[in-house]
Chain A
């Protein structure tokens, strides 16, 4: 209890210290000691929590009353601060809203403060969710403060330099800035530990005003404009919050979260009235979580110094919004209209923000859209109101906090050292800032690839949506994930480029920055590795406490497997571990390369630099085009929900959502099974795959009326490649390629051992990412174009592949491939349209003409070989082996649709697989290479049409 007070109030001490301290050294000392103590206290709170379990804290009525008065006073003071600034900068809208909120706050204070029932018996609490948030805020938030110490020195120096050029002096506002950061932490602690909504609101408003002041830090016209956008949008949320509180109070309902949840279970006329405050509080949470149409404030917040962005995006501010929704999530299932609003707004934001992120080249804007998108997914999960979905949401919150803060801090440091935050300027970063880039790559991988937390959480979300029959969400998730994959993938590819001639520019990064960066990176890995423990120790108990049942989303064995892979990737990426020690050769530049890095002799004998820019598709995915659509749709949804509440009687809105919970909970074949499967796959798949490849060549030759190569030709090719002299353009590509091969084999092992097909698909995607890294790291323009196309191909087929797993789930209630053998009919009976979608994208996946965009297996091609351009000898052999394994795996996916509990079915499956491959060869020999656009249209088109066709009956079924 005392500890809780200390935790909440202590950050005010360093905040005050910052204002009083003079000079950098004093500030460093205050910042370091302050952050250190906050982290220590956070840890102590967590440890004590594990001893005592969740508990509510009683506060003496007198003290409680005083604190309520204080919080009301703070609300009023904040309104005054806002109004002062609104007058100062003559912002009419802010003035109006400020006055509304001021009047509201005063009225609310007048209502509640004299009344005795305003005093809550147990206004403070600490449960599993609070502890997760306390840890996130306390550790990540403090680390960001530490980072800010060094960062702001550079920032100020830069400002002073600029000002000196103009003949002015730059005012030093760093003390206020750093003080605000600590104040922010204090407010967040209030939010996550207050059961009393009045107090929570006080913390809520402090974060709003703090971020307003931080965004306006530089006082440039742009900063001031964006700060006002922020305050206007968040004040709308604040006013909604206040209205919700008033509604609660006027109707005599408790002003606490626990009280609301207790009341909702009562099923009385009064509990039905809860729908209005729930929707108002959710609206406030959506504004804070920067969901469409309120998302613009978070984009504008980018003008602030990077620690602000890191703080707003990762541990505080936006997380306050989703935290409130986590708390309200049990109510969403009871009041479907509120759940509908939150889920739909979240889902639309998730998809559209991910698409808009593709069109951005500014690193901070990409990060901002990714935050908006992820918060959308979190909201969508929470709106479902089932423990399965909330499980995914909590993990998304946790991993997003860690990974996003790491990324922001990395981008901030990079900006100060390479002089740009544009992703296009990050060419060769891997050599210019070796350590920082590795951390950044880790952060990016942490955001979107398989074994890392974010994707595991997304996986959880997909399972949750499937289990609760949320068909539209499944579709949104499938497409949104593919878009997410693309925009992260191209950034990752850009970073991975190795430039042997680059100068190392990271030598004068501040120590405090390294301290923060390294710790957060370690934290990211720790969180991923401790995933099973966090799940069973914190998240599951929380859900058991709130929902009364523990969700089963991801099997234990799958989690352990992921832990191993995370550790493996971390070792590959962060250590100077090298597989190859080959002689260095230059990249291929059509024979006209010069000695200078990436330069070639152009016409007239000039030296020209070969450059490659990323694909943005501004015309189709630009924010001007997509943003308004999302805003209009989301506005309509919110208005619709509000009107429902206003016009339809509340008692009719309080009904449980029609949800059916499916799931048989197979545990797959266990870690041992997966291991055996992997070994078997590793031994057999290359043999079978090579043979298929040989047959393919033979068949193609016969179709062209010639004899063709020997049947075993592919094996001869690989044997030859292994005998070639070793050479490499850098030390990384062979390592990446080896990883890709390993992950493909593990993916195949997972499938043949009868385990989770989603995990299998994620492994294949992970392998694709490593192929992209291998080719992009070479910094060859040809290979980079190939890498870009590879990413596009993955984005094209990803939705259909995810739907394949969903198709399996529909038929068997399990994601495990073994489940098909227990069926009385093959799953093609249930999932024929999805099967057709899979067939359609198989050509893309097998990289057959007309979709052999990134790499071609063909003998007759005249173009340089895309992703494989710089690979030679052993590396190329690994690539070939990987293709063989992939071919076998994909054909097994096809065969899976025709297996049931009859042994004869295996023969049927084999026949279908053979027929499918024959058709693929036929297609390969019939069509000329097409454009990436048609590849993309086909992939997304079939997934959308056939996916919906297959899933629609479920949506309807729930209502029947």
Chain B
């Protein structure tokens, strides 16, 4: 009974940019049909209440600050689950001009849950997986340690910084990343899209 966190995983979900398939599946997994409440899962819709952050879709310049803000407003111990292949790596959109990459370009991801679209069973499985990380964080915190030494945050490279103009700086641009890893620079774009947008 020492672990309190895993018994009450409250989630918040955010859809970055995708075909919306994963987002529908995430919500489907929270319906009575799959009965995620068996594990104490509650969809709070509020980062201040939530323990687990379910993100679907890839990250772009528009939603990167949003994802970051929601993440920052969650209180430790907290966990991030990248739901679906787009959230894991950018998926089929990884080479699109506006896509920066997976969720780990914005925030540290603890659990990568692939699928296109992700299946509800995978979502629930990922949440249960995240619960384990929550418990680890809790243990570390109770010992007076830093929760950021546990899970995805421990090996996170810091992701992408947006420039003053709200776009990814040219210097930080590079190749995309593979699902499940956090190495490599993000698939950012040089100044061209910025100029294109301004032209619009």
Contact = CB atoms under 8 A, between A and B. Distances in A.
Given A725-B75, A727-B75, A872-B75, A708 B38 contact: yes
B104 interface: no
A586 interface: yes
Interface stretch (B43-51, B83-91, B121-129, B168-176): B43-51
B69 A864 contact: no
B20 interface: no
B32 A706 contact: yes
B116 interface: no
A859 B42 contact: yes
Interface in B22-72: 30-33, 35, 37-49, 51, 65-67, 69-70
Interface stretch (A35-43, A293-301, A588-596, A882-890): A588-596
Nearest to B63: A591
A876 B39 CA distance: 20
B181 interface: no
Contact of B49 (A713, A725, A872): A872
Nearest to A589: B69
A709 B37 contact: yes
Given A716-B7, A862-B45, A724 B32 contact: no
A428 B142 CA distance: 37
B73 A724 contact: no
B110 interface: no
A706 B29 CA distance: 13
Contact of A723 (B4, B31, B37): B4
A328 B76 CA distance: 67
Contacts of B45: 861-865
A868 B73 contact: no
B48 A870 contact: yes
Interface string B161-185: 0000010000000000000000000
A944 B33 CA distance: 43
Contact of A860 (B43, B49, B77, B142): B43
Given A716-B40, A717-B8, A865 B46 contact: yes
B154 interface: no
A588 B48 contact: yes
Given A860-B43, A864-B46, A870-B48, A713 B8 contact: yes
B77 A713 contact: no
Contacts of B51: 720, 724
Contacts of A276: none
B88 to A, nearest CB: 21
Given A592-B69, A716-B7, A872 B48 contact: yes
A508 interface: no
Contacts of B37: 697, 701, 706, 708-709, 859
B93 interface: no
Contacts of B69: 591-593
A646 interface: no
Given A725-B75, A876-B49, A591 B38 contact: no
A585 B46 CA distance: 14
Contact of B35 (A706, A862, A871): A706
A591 B70 contact: yes
Nearest to B5: A720
A376 B8 CA distance: 53
A161 interface: no
Contact of A709 (B30, B40, B48): B40
A171 B30 CA distance: 73
A865 B66 contact: no
A734 B176 CA distance: 45
A947 to B, nearest CB: 39
A869 B66 contact: no
Contacts of A593: 69
Interface in A491-506: none
B75 A860 contact: no
A719 B4 contact: yes
Please list the 6 inter-chain residue pairs (A to B) with the smallest Cβ-Cβ separation, ordered nearest first.
A591-B66, A716-B7, A706-B35, A720-B8, A872-B48, A725-B76
22 contacts: A588-B47, A588-B48, A706-B32, A706-B35, A707-B38, A713-B7, A716-B7, A717-B10, A719-B4, A720-B7, A725-B75, A725-B147, A727-B75, A859-B41, A860-B31, A864-B45, A865-B44, A868-B46, A869-B48, A871-B48, A872-B75, A876-B49
Given A704-B32, A709-B37, A720-B7, 18 more contacts: A591-B14, A701-B32, A706-B37, A717-B40, A719-B4, A719-B7, A719-B8, A724-B76, A725-B141, A725-B147, A859-B30, A859-B37, A860-B31, A869-B46, A870-B48, A871-B48, A871-B49, A872-B49
